[in-house]
Every structure is written in structure tokens, then in C-alpha cells.
Chain A
Amino acid sequence: MSEAPDQALLAAQEDRLRRVWETPGGWRYWSAVNNTEVGVWYTATSFFFFLFAGVLALIMRGQLAVPDNDLVSPGLYNQLFTLHGTMMMFLFAVPIFEAVAILILPQMLAARDLPFPRLSAFGYWCFLIGGVFVAGSIFFNAAPDGGWFMYPPLTTDPEFSGIGADIWLLGLSFIEVASIAAAVELIVGVLKCRPPGMRINLIPLYCWYVLIVAGMILFAFPPLIAGDILFEMERLFNWPFFDPSRGGDPILWQHLFWIFGHPEVYIIFLPSIALLAMIVPTFAQRPIVGYGWIVLAAVGTGFLSFGLWAHHMFTTGLPIVSQGFFSAASEAVAIPTGVQIFVFVATMLAGRVVFAIPMLYATGALAIFVFGGLTGVMVALAPFDWQAHDSYFVVAHLHYTLIGGMFFPLIAGVYYFYPFVMGRMLSDRLGKWAFWLMFTGFNIAFLPMHFTGLRGMPRRVFTYPEGLGFDLLNLVSTLGAFVMAAGVLVLTWDLVRPLNWKPKAPKNPWNAGTLEWAEGDPESPWGIRSVPIIESRYPLWDQPDLARKIHEGRFFLPDAEEGKRETMVTTVLDAEPLQVLRLPGNSFLPMLAAVFVGGSFIAATFHWWVTTILSGVIGIGVIMVWLWTGTSMIPEKREKNAGLGTVLPLYASGPSSVGWWAMFITMVGDGTAFGSLVFSYFFYWTIRPDFPPPDATGPGQFYPTLAAILALLAWGLMLLARTRNRAGHELKALFMVMGSAFAALGSGAAILWAPYVTGLEPTRDSYDATVWVLAIWTAVHLGVGVLMQGYCVARGLAGKLSARHDIDLQNVTLYWHFATITALTTALVTGLFPLAVGGG
């Protein structure tokens, strides 16, 4: 490979690539879907929400500076702390993980983009609309005011709560859906869009963390969505899920919330550790020491984090045995965390460390986070938590873990990746100023809070009387908060000051070893000039001349001959080339879809039902157009030469396609939400001696059984349709799909008819309400399935679905596996379980 490259050919290739990947100008700029644009918008928006929530915190600190202060009213204060927590969690910490991942993951994997660029754009617009809606509510004195974990009955009782609770529930549900969409995309990206040769044990550590965290989102967010559904049904329609006078229980919400809420902490923490896992080896100028250790530790953390939720409920009177168990589990999670920290220490010991600004932030992060971890070990111990819980000690603890475990590593990442994204260097001097102001300010603000809490100050109080020993500590905390804010201001200035004030970054300024630094020019829109073959975890260090060869187009996909956006798809474990994936280009459809779906949620908040339905229907219509015009396109030829003499297909369906994986992963998340609803049913059964209550009249056995049989029939027909279609009997297959749709409609009708005809009244008792909610959930899923079947039939009639090109049918059949399980479970639980316990 030593002959000189043909410069004319290279220039022509680059020209074609540029034309295909170019970002549109003018107002069409906002139709961009490429990860480099969406990632920057996403990051900037979530950073803006961070600043907004930070200002809310400063107002609170102003109010608490002196005892008996009246800077803000109690009502406003309660909105401030609720919105501060809500925004920092849902509008900053989680979205910025997804934002940064969308921004840097493709290049790390030498992919031209993520597999579903329009989905990223849709997620971003959902996030923007939902975020502005939730954050803006404070200007109308309508922000949620029940605390960011929204415990009922304070937040369900119409006497104590207003529209703020609906804004929280509907606004955030909307954003959670977007978060799950991003998680699906990131998982598929890591699993399927790696460069050839990058086996699973060679992937950059950041990608491991993305995989783990996205997986956690998939299992953690659905319980919250299920909880939100129950919650909103109670608020809107008076279904008594949390009302003890009608068989409900406020503790159910606490379980559902914290099954989400504790993994959430690690969903926030791990991506930032992932940034450190990229930064530390670069500045130690050697590969990470203990790659296997850190991957296992991260997996372990993710796994354990689902077993600790009840440590947020140590004061609710849990049995001693449960408290002991959850104490032990909570302590155990410190062990994998310790391993991750010492992997970094070991890497530094074995390397020669260059102490640049990112390392300064990394060290500050460690100092703060280790402290927060140690107080975490304290509060994990139930007896100590009985004192510390809901006091300022916990406020201090959680800020130490989040600022140290999330914020400082994130800023380390910002200084590290800024040249990669913008092609410019941030200022060392401003970076140091910002660091020392934020670091000292943070500690001045939050260190005293440990003592404020142990001196007895509860959290979420808008004021305190003088003379209890809170006065001086609070004043100091307030001063510290403003010093920290000054640091944030310096940091923000460094970020937003004009680009041409900042020096141009050299290629690979930190001499890093991973692929995202191979391109070295953010101006070129294609992400990577050609997709290389990878043989090492740090290819830029270990594979000689790799960057040059990539630039000379010596690897895969060096050209865009057909004028289409393309990226490589490889196998999950060994990254062997499978397919050249055609990616959809820029479009306003994702934005439009987000506007109408978002409009539907927002209208529901105000009980404008006509608008809700209209907006929702239009939203679904836009999504249908988007799918019809932008997915499972039949390519003009079967296969193409991807370079290096490798001929790859342009079309794939079933488990080798990215769409199949996305559907599978989405349905796992969907199944988790359904599982949470089933959990709620059995939760009532464990806490109530009379569940089902003796006077409950339904839903009987006949209709649930009928629904189950019809669902099985629908499923069987779908399986048959898929095989017949493959065998070339395309028309027959379409008739089977239609037959399946009729069976599904019958099944959905039967499952809804059961509680209706037996007279279950959802407002009467939590039993009736739970049966209804399971029935509705199932019917909606069957309905969506029918919609998909109609889509398949239309595709078939339009000639877009054939024996060879059957992505739609494959994915809809996959959906039907899950829909059938849902229907069978609902029939079994609501219809047959009461027989087993002698009720119904």
C-alpha cells in the first residue's frame, strides 16, 4: 500500500461525500438529522437547562441565607426546589449523557452516523418541547411543587395539588419516551455499527458504558412511565391507585419511583465515569490498566443499582430484614465503584501523566466524588439513615455524588472533547479559574450542609427559625453557592465566547489513541473519510499510519458513488461486515412529529381533549409518512463493493438488520413497563388481605380466555404470513396479515369488554382500577399492532414489501411476539389469578 494515492480520485470522492453529508444552510439547517448537528443542539440545550436550574438554586440559597427570610413566598420556594431537582435530573443529567453520546459515539466507532439519525432528531425535538414546557411553567406560577419525587397523596389530592403535578407527569413522560428512543439508538449503534475488526472486547470503554447505561435506561425508565400512567389516571379520572380509602396505597408510587430513581443515579454517574475512562489513558499516555476489571465493574454497578431502591424508603417502616438486605446491597455497590476508581489510579501509576486541564477537573471530581461515596456508605446503613434521611445531610451527600460523579467529569470531558467537536481549544487560564471557583465554592456551599442536616434541619423547608444552630452554616452555604456560580459563569464564558478568539486545535491535540481523533477536522461533514479495519483498543497508537490511510480512503466506503448516505453494519460480537446501511437524510418530519405528539401531551395537561386527540392523530400520521418515505427503502441494486474487494448487501432484514434490533430493544423496554403494571397488581395482593375484594364482580374468565385465544390466533397468522411471504406467496401473506388484524381487533375488544360487562368500576376500588389499566394497556398494544398490520398491507399493495424485502413484516411479527405475551399475561392475571386465590 505504498503507491501514491491518486489525488484527483481522492478529491472527487471527497466532493461526492461532502455533497451527500453536507449540512443544509439557511432555515433548512433545522432539518438536519446528522449526529454532529443534533448532538450539538442537544448538548447546548441541556446545558442551558442546567444554567436555568442553577439560577433556581441560587434563589433558594438567597432565601435560606438568613433565618425567617421572606425573599420568596413559600409557594414559590416549593416550586423552586421541585423544579431544580426535576430539571437537573430529567433535563440536564440524563439528556446530556445522550447528547454527548450522540455527538461522539459514531466517530469513536468510525461510523458515519448513528443507525437512526431521524430518531435522534425526533428525540431532540421532543426534549426541547417538553423541557421548555416544564421549565417555563415557573413563569406562570404553575410549576410542580411536590418535590421531584412527587409523593402522593400530596400530589394526587386535588385539594393539595394543582396543574403543576400534571405538567410534571405529562411533560416528563414525553421526555422519558424520547430518552428511551435515544437509548435504543445508542444500543443498536454500539452493537451493530462498529468498524470491521472491532470485536466486542476491543471497543472503547466509553462505548461499554454507553451500552450499559442505555440498557439501564431501558429497564429503569419504564417503571416510572408505568407509575406516571397510574398517577395521571388517578389525577384525571379519580382511579384510586394511591388512595388508601379505596384500597390504594401511596407506598406503591414510592416503589415504582425508586425502582426508576436509584438506577437513575447510576445512569447519571456512569456516563461521566466513561468520559474519565477516555481521558485518563490519554493523559497517562498508555492503554487503560485493567480493561476487563473496569468493564465488569461497570456492569456490576449497573446490575446492583437495580437492587437498592428501597434504601430511599428506610423510614417508611419496612421490615427490619428488608432494611438489612437493602443496607447490604447499598454498601455492596461501593465495591465496583472502588474498582473503577482504582483502575484509573493504576493506569496513572503505570503511565507518565500529562497534567492538562481535563486532568485537573478529573482530580477535582475524584476528591468530591470519593467524599460523596463515603457519606453514601454512611446513609446506606439503615440506622444512620433514620437520622440523616430527608435532612440536609442527604442534600449534601447527593450533591457530592452528583457534582463529583457527574458534573466535574462532564466538564473534564467538555475541555477534552471541545477541540474534537469545534476544532478549537478552550482557554487554559479560564479553565483553571472556573475550576478553582467551582471547586472551592462547591465545598464551601455543601460541606457545612452535612452538619446543618445533623443539627436537625430537614430538607425542603422554605425557612428556619433563628437560634437552632442553622444560621451561620446556612449563610456560609449561600456564600459558597455564589462563588460556585461565579465559576460556572467563567466556564460558560469560555464555552460561548466567539470561536475565532480561540486558537485552532491541532489534529489530535492530546495525542489520544481512539478513533474519534482520526479525522481531526470537524469541518468535514462525513465523520470518517473511510471506515478502517481495527485490530487494537487504541488503534491510533498501535496501528501505524492509520489516520493517514483513513484519509487516503484506503478502507471501506471511501466514496458515495450513488449519492446516498451510507454506513457499515457489522456483526454484534466479532464485527464482521454484514451490510452497507443506507441512512435517511435531512428532514423536517421528525420535528413535525415531535411538535404534534408534544402538542397532544401538552393539551392533555389542560384537559383540552379535542386538541389532544387531534394533535395525537396528526402526530401519528406524520410518523407514518416519515416511516413510509424514510425506512426500509428498497435499494436500486442488491449489493455493492464496499471497498477492499468486499461486496456487501444493501438490504437486510430479520436479526441481521438494525431495525429488528431496535424493535426488539424497544419491546424489552415496553415489556418492562407492562411488567411494572403487573407488579402493581400483585403489590396490592401482598398488602391487602382482600385482593381481589369479595364484592368485586369481574372480569370473569370467559372474555379474558376468549381474548387470549384470539391473540394466539393473531400471532399464529402473523408467523404464517412471514413464512409464506418469504416463500414468495406475497398476496397470500397479505391476506393472513389481514386475518390476523381481525383476530387482534376481536382480542382487544374482548379484553376491554370483560371488565365492562362484569361491572368493574375503576373509581370504586384499586382492584377494579388495576384490572382496567391492564386491559387498556393490552388493548392499546393490540390496536398499535393492528395499525402496523395495516401499514404492512399498504406497503405490500404499493409494492414496497416483497419476499426479499420484508423488513416491515419481520419487525411487525417481532412486535407481535411481545403483544401476544402481553395479551396472554393480562388474560392470565386478570382472568385466572382470582380463581387461584379464591376471589372473583
Chain B
Amino acid sequence: MSRARPFPAAATLGILALSACTGPQSALDPAGEDAAEIAGLFWQMLAGAAVIWCLVLGGSVLASWRGRSLWQVATALKVILWAGAVFPTVVLAGLLIHGLRLMPGLRATESDLRIEVVGERFWWRVIYHRDGAPPVTSANEIRLPAGATVEFILSSPDVIHSFWIPPLGGKTDLIPGRTTRQVLRPTKPGVYRGACAEFCGASHALMALTAEVMTPDDFARWLQAEAGPAAVTAGPGPDAFLRHGCAACHTVRGTEANALVGPDLTHLGSRHTVGAGILANSPAAIARFVAHADTLKPEIRMPSYAMLPETELRLLADWLASLR
């Protein structure tokens, strides 16, 4: 009876380990080819590592057992040669060849879509480049067509950030004064989460982004809509927006607001989150962010508008939330 126990325990552990991989930000729950290749590589390496660890530890515990028969020095020297030098050399050479073969594939040079991502303190400027049409600017959210090879062109005007959507692939830094590139090949439609991976200051932990992988048709339709002006460009909402100086930093296409300091808000209502991934999008969340930007996100450049009357805040927030 007691002999049967280890199996369910091991099974439970196994299930726990597997369930430990899921999540909207998990590198082990891939939604893109690059992430899938790396996840596969990880599981292979993990299996190999587990075997090697058991062998080394088992060997040394056996070796340190008291009172066992002594080995000849010449035999012990062979252990050093074979287990210490030859074995790792062979294994590592094999692993290196296997692992590095992934590199050219992971860094493809031809792309179907080019997206420029600029890391700012603490949000993402996103610019979709289109053939024969002007680029489309958005922020804090990236939409991608499944099956495409997408090239990201990465830069930063302030400090170093790092662009990372784990379910789609690895990360690349955004470095002031340099332009870096990253290729991702999303495959599975769904909503994923990414984050800034290089420490960039007080609100580094609050610099996330949403990545939505769509079918190519949905994506084309969405990009068409995203290129257009805001849904509502006149009325009390836009008036409040201009009156309180929001246009000094933000753009809402179709209105007078065309500043480039902060995120483009033209289609804010259609985004999943507010404040670069920190609040689920709703009129209340927008109002809260506008009123308390610097407590929600320390050292953010946007001042708090806590002094605005409740009615004004609601006017602003309702309008912004309606910009789908």
C-alpha cells in the first residue's frame, strides 16, 4: 500500500508543473513560432539537466559513503577525464549545435509587417508601417496578424527598456541612440501580455503592454479602422479635453489635439487596458488614471488632475472610453 503512494504524488507534481506554465505572459505557453521553438528547447534541456543532475549527485553521494571499498587512483583519474572533461564537452557541443541552429530562424530578415515600437518612461509608442499609406500611430497595445512574420523596429528616447511578449518570443532592448530589431511570428489568436524587461526607473514594474493576435482578416479590418480619426471629435468631451490642456501632450486625430509627448489617444476606448497595462479599460479606470496618474505610476511625466471636478472627469473619461 505504501509502495503505491509515490505515483499519485508524482502525478500531482507533474500536473502542478504543467499547470505552472500557463498564463497570458508565459513563455511556456507559446502563441508564436519563436516562443514555441524556445519552449521546446527548454523542455529538452530541462530533461537533460535533470538526468545529469541525478548522475552527478548520485555519484558524489555514493563516493562519499563511508567504509566502501577504495578505488585505485588510476581509475579515479579516469573518472575525472571521462565524466569531468569528455562527457561535458560532447554534451555541450551537441547542445550548442542544436541550440544555435535556431538563431537564424529566430532572427528572420524578411517580414510581412513592420511595427516601430518606442519605449518611453513608462509606456510604449507603437507605429504600424504600411506600404503606400501613411503610418498608423497607437500606444501600449500591439495587434498582430496570425501567421505573419512581423519585424519590430525598436528605439528609446530616454533610458533603456526591453520589449518582451513572452508567449510570442524573446526580448530585445530599446536603447537610446541605437535602433534594434526583433522578429516575431505569432500563430495563435488571443490576447497576451508583455512587459518591459529592463529596469527603467520607479515605475518599471508598471510598464506592461497588451498583444492581441488576430486572424489576418480581422487584423486588416482593425488596422483600417485604427488609421481613421477618432469616433467622436466634437461635443462636451473634446471641449473638456482641450480646455484642461490635455492637448499639450496627447493626440486625438480629428481634433485639434496633435501633440506627441504622451500616448496617442485616438482609439483609446478600443484598448484592453489603461496606463500601459495597469488598469482594465473602463470609463471609471480612465477617470481614476487622469485624477491620480502619479500615485498609480510614480515618476510618470503626466501630472495628476485630482483638482478637476468630478463632473469634468466623468465627461473626459466617458468621451475617451467611447473612442473605439
Contact = CB atoms under 8 A, between A and B. Distances in A.
Interface stretch (A213-221, A409-417, A449-457): A449-457
A381 B202 contact: no
A387 interface: yes
B235 to A, nearest CB: 34
A339 B88 CA distance: 9
Q: DSSP majority for the A interface?
A: helix
B160 interface: yes
Given A153-B158, A386-B38, A387-B171, A342 B103 contact: no
A327 interface: yes
A73 B298 CA distance: 9
A455 B205 contact: no
B195 A458 contact: yes
B198 A387 contact: no
A577 B201 CA distance: 59
Interface string B273-312: 0000010000000000000000000110000000000000
A542 to B, nearest CB: 15
A835 interface: no
A377 B41 CA distance: 12
Chain B, interface SS category:
mixed
Interface in B78-105: 79-80, 83-85, 87-89, 92, 95-96, 99-100, 102-104
B125 interface: no
A454 B21 contact: yes
A458 B197 contact: yes
A12 interface: no
B99 A384 contact: yes
Nearest to A366: B60
A383 B106 contact: yes
A71 interface: no
A245 interface: yes
A327 B100 CA distance: 8
Contacts of A293: 77, 80, 84
Most chain B beta-carbon neighbours within 10 Å: one of A290, A353, A359, A384: A384
A251 B96 contact: no
A382 interface: yes
B106 A469 contact: no
Interface stretch (B62-70, B220-228, B262-270): B62-70
Interface string A444-464: 000000010011111111111
B26 A454 contact: yes
Given A147-B199, A334-B92, A345-B79, A383 B102 contact: yes
Contacts of A342: 79-80, 83-85
B205 A464 contact: yes
Interface in B121-162: 121, 158-160, 162
Q: Which of B22, B52, B103 has the most CB of A within 10 A?
A: B103
A486 B197 CA distance: 32
Contact of A374 (B52, B162, B176): B52
Contacts of B71: 346, 349-350
Contacts of B38: 383-384, 386-387
A627 interface: no
Interface stretch (A40-48, A312-320, A556-564, A596-604): A312-320
A339 B45 CA distance: 21
Which of B35, B79, B180 has the most C-beta atoms of chain A within 10 angstroms of its own C-beta? B79
B57 interface: yes
Interface string B16-43: 0100111111111000000101100110
A345 B103 contact: no
A374 B53 contact: yes
B100 A378 contact: no
Interface in A422-451: 451
Contacts of A265: none
Contacts of A323: 103
B175 A456 contact: no
Contact of A455 (B20, B96, B159, B203): B20
Given A151-B159, A350-B75, A456-B25, 20 more contacts: A74-B203, A153-B160, A154-B200, A244-B176, A251-B178, A289-B73, A293-B77, A315-B162, A317-B172, A324-B100, A331-B92, A345-B83, A353-B66, A381-B96, A382-B99, A389-B170, A456-B23, A456-B27, A462-B205, A468-B25
- Nearest first, the 3 A-B pairs at minimum CB distance are A244-B177, A386-B170, A456-B25
Interface of B: 17, 20-28, 35, 37-38, 41-42, 45-46, 49, 52-53, 56-57, 59-61, 63-67, 70-73, 75-77, 79-80, 83-85, 87-89, 92, 95-96, 99-100, 102-104, 106-107, 121, 158-160, 162, 164, 166-167, 169-173, 175-178, 180-181, 193, 195-205, 278, 298-299
9 contacts: A154-B160, A154-B200, A245-B177, A327-B99, A348-B63, A381-B95, A383-B99, A383-B106, A390-B199
